[in-house]
Structure 1
């Protein structure tokens, strides 16, 4: 069945979908400014609590690989709210957790089902006019990224004012409300007649046939890995001397990334006009500069804040360009293509979180910054390979 409306003209629905994207994505990041509070609550080593970020990203990557491809063959109108219900259950488990293991279980369930955002985005690409894809996807990505940033701020705020578990209760309730509204408002779009097994066979074919999908996925994975180093170390750095910030201020600081998140609609518009490669290079350059500021931020909160803002902008630029490229590769397989890209993207994020913790414990902030620069260099290297491949096959 075909979409009955062009949703690019339905502003209220687009805003609702953007909020849903932000809520789903943000659900995986509540623990970032809470590491210190969770440590004291459960009386466990800080390094174990920091692994919660990694578990969230690994489970999200598994959801992207095994759940998101179903978006090409099932009724998205029912599937998306069902996924959000699963995420709400995971959040509720986190809110009721009495030990770190229970928190990890809730985090993993939340990560698996919060991939609803990555089913919403391909839905948009087949429910709007082709010339609107970049702009509308950019709008949803703005919602997604702002949701991630607000999630850390709100979790820190609730932690200081009430208790660190309150954010999980609040988010679960809001998730259920948005899911019920989306169930009534989402448009019906076409699906592909395939079984579950053939989906993965076709994904392997896409990986072998679409070289730019592979290159752009690696670029995205490296870029997100460099940002994820901050996700796993921000609380450890800023709650310790010389800063000694409270959870709420750690969360508030991340709001500087909102400027980068809000730029995705503009970036998507220019990417749709054929400036993907140029903007990707600019994004990689911004990421590199941000790590120089972040290194100085080990002793200067102002420098760290500017670095965090820049790295958010660089990541938004690279990610928006990547999605602009991959959604043009095969219009009939956008959920599968997005699943491949986002799986590699979040595997990169999980590796970045783990590397960040490892570097922190073996070489402090300096080692974390060096790791960040290496990952940015890898992103730039594969951007060069992608550009050469594009020129060769133009």
Structure 2
């Protein structure tokens, strides 16, 4: 069941990232200006943020399996619209809806936490999040390779079919889960949404972990939105296949998730967080400081991508492990708030990345990216032992 959930979250969350290495081809096909090309990714992430606030909390109110299957059908429809889009407005609207529906992955993660034993919850979450992160990381090379072979429209059509199939499989395999209604809400949607502000205000660990991941995911999204542009530029001259291979190497960073989960189970969350934030800084500092010929620069970028992906993975799992140790009846809402806040960081990073690359080049992108984990380290310095 854990591996089924891990696979499902990976396939679902990949929808947010298929467009990331295809910003150039999609912009050309739909007529988007270079300065706003980053909005191809940003709108998807903004939709994801809104879905986190308005849909994920329903995991504490409605039967989870039905909610998951319904959302998957909606995602499949949005992907089909994106596949046949010929205008920028239609594609961007579909991208927003893809983001909203793909939050179903964040209903599955706390579902897995409910099924696990408390003493191994970090490892269970780590395995499921590994699948989620593999989906994020593999989405880029898969979309690049498919685009080289069949065009970018095929990426979204294939994913629409996969989501429809996944809805069928999960309907048959997932157990029923009716949330326990307690005094934290009165069983209606309005009260459920109203409780979000109360949870944010009264849960310091939620605010702190969200701040760390806001910074880390902002850096992650900025890097992966812009690195395909520099790799395709005359500086490296890579094809979509070459960019796919580069992204594939970064998948190694997902191996950090179960390790971080195990460390969190052992009470080592603080040191794991510090390592992740420092690694995030180094992943941008290295390309800025270590510059040589084409091969040296490429090798440094490859190493930076692995380190950054590992850092983001470790920070994510450590944060979720901390939140899932709190009350089970608010787990979906805590997860929704956590993900919404840090995906806002991702939306900011992707939009800033596209703008900085268009106006200040790759060096401007790296300097901007460095500021995100550095800000996270400043917040971490205020944390008490």
Q: Same fold (TM over 0.5)?
A: yes
The answer for unaligned runs of 5 or more in structure 1 is 1-12
CA contact (8 A) 2:38 2:353 kept: no
Give the match for residue 374 of structure 1: 371
Query: What do residues 3-61 of structure 1 show as CA deviations (whole Å, max 9, x unaligned)?
Result: xxxxxxxxxx2222111101111101111111222233234423333210111111111
The SS at the match of 1:269 is: helix
C-alpha distance in structure 2 between counterparts of 1:202 and 1:297, whole Å: 50
Tell me which of 204, 216, 221 is aligned to 2:214: 221
1:105 aligns with 2:93: yes
C-alpha distance in structure 1 between counterparts of 2:86 and 2:218, whole Å: 31
CA contact (8 A) 2:250 2:302 kept: no
Give the match for residue 286 of structure 1: 279
CA contact (8 A) 2:83 2:153 kept: yes
CA-atom RMSD in angstroms: 1.5
Matches within 5 A, 1:300-339: 300-339=297-336
CA contact (8 A) 2:19 2:143 kept: yes
C-alpha distance in structure 2 between counterparts of 1:270 and 1:62, whole Å: 32
Give the match for residue 6 of structure 1: none
CA contact (8 A) 1:142 1:264 kept: yes
Give the match for residue 147 of structure 2: 159
4+ runs of 1 displaced by more than 6 Å?
Answer: none
The size of the alignment, in residue pairs, is 376
C-alpha distance in structure 1 between counterparts of 2:30 and 2:329, whole Å: 48
C-alpha distance in structure 1 between counterparts of 2:351 and 2:47, whole Å: 14
CA contact (8 A) 2:31 2:88 kept: no
TM-superposed deviation, 1:201 = 2.1
Tell me which of 6, 26, 41 is aligned to 2:29: 41
Matches within 5 A, 1:122-271: 122-193=110-181, 194-271=187-264
C-alpha distance in structure 2 between counterparts of 1:297 and 1:148, whole Å: 28
The TM-score normalised by the length of structure 1 is: 0.92
TM-superposed deviation, 1:196 = 0.8
The SS at the match of 2:326 is: coil
Query: What do residues 66-89 of structure 1 show as CA deviations (whole Å, max 9, x unaligned)?
Result: 100001010111110111111111
TM-superposed deviation, 1:234 = 1.8
CA contact (8 A) 2:34 2:358 kept: no
Query: What do residues 73-119 of structure 1 show as CA deviations (whole Å, max 9, x unaligned)?
Result: 10111110111111111110110111121111111111100111100
CA contact (8 A) 1:229 1:353 kept: yes
C-alpha distance in structure 2 between counterparts of 1:255 and 1:236, whole Å: 16
The TM-score normalised by the length of structure 2 is: 0.94
The answer for unaligned runs of 5 or more in structure 2 is 182-186
Matches within 5 A, 1:356-367: 356-367=353-364
CA contact (8 A) 1:33 1:156 kept: yes
Q: Which moved more, 1:36-45 or 1:328-337?
A: 36-45
C-alpha distance in structure 1 between counterparts of 2:242 and 2:167, whole Å: 31
Give the match for residue 184 of structure 2: none
